[in-house]
Structure 1
Amino acid sequence: MPVMHFLIQWPDGGEANCYSPSLVIGDFFTPGEAYALDDFVDRSRQALNIASERVREKYGFACSAALDQLAQIERDAGRFRDQPQAMVKVIEFS
């Protein structure tokens, strides 16, 4: 399966290189766009669950790396929950 990485910038300026086992991320995000924190987390959840299911369909098991990435995004997003205007920028795909 084609792998995709997506570089993001958190509201505090920190960056994270995120992993998806599928190109489905491109259906949910646009490089250069910023998303409200909750919207970003929701889109990540949808995309990474679809990606994991695609792995399940092909190989017979869910993608633990996609689910781990989602858990990391959810943990990191928790740092900004008290900032109502928090935005997450998708910098690029690779």
Structure 2
Amino acid sequence: MPLTRVAIEISNGKSEMLYYPSSVVKDFFQEKQQFKFMEFKELALTSLEESDKRVTAKYGYPCIGCAILRHRITEWAQLYKEETVKIVKIHEFKY
């Protein structure tokens, strides 16, 4: 499965790199898109759910990385709910 990294910038100046175990995230986000944080959160959680389904289908167990990222994004939503998020870069690695 391809690993996909998504670089984001939050309007408060914070930058983060998100790691997805699947390229399905590209169905939800494109480079240079901007979202209100709560909209970003909903799309991110949905894309993580789809990624996790792919991992489970292929390997027979869920992806712990998806669970960790879901938790982080949910926590961030409490801190950054008034901010915007820009998708800076999406990079896919195939192995």
TM-score exceeds 0.5: yes
CA distance in 1, matches of 2:48, 2:39: 14
Where structure 2 has 5 or more consecutive residues not aligned to the other structure, the ranges are none
CA distance in 2, matches of 1:67, 1:11: 25
Between 1 and 2, higher relative CO (CA 8 Å, sep ≥ 6) is seen in 2
Q: 1:65, CA displacement in angstroms?
A: 0.4
Q: Partner letter of residue 47 of structure 1?
A: S
Q: Secondary structure at the match of 2:16?
A: strand
Matches within 5 A, 1:1-94: 1-81=1-81, 83=82, 86-94=83-91
Runs of 4+ in 1 over 3 A off after TM superposition: none
Does the Cα contact within 8 Å between 1:49 and 1:67 map onto a contact in 2?
A: no
* TM-score normalised to structure 1 length: 0.91
**Matched-pair identity in %:** 25
* TM-score normalised to structure 2 length: 0.90
Where structure 1 has 5 or more consecutive residues not aligned to the other structure, the ranges are none
Aligned length: 91
RMSD: 0.9
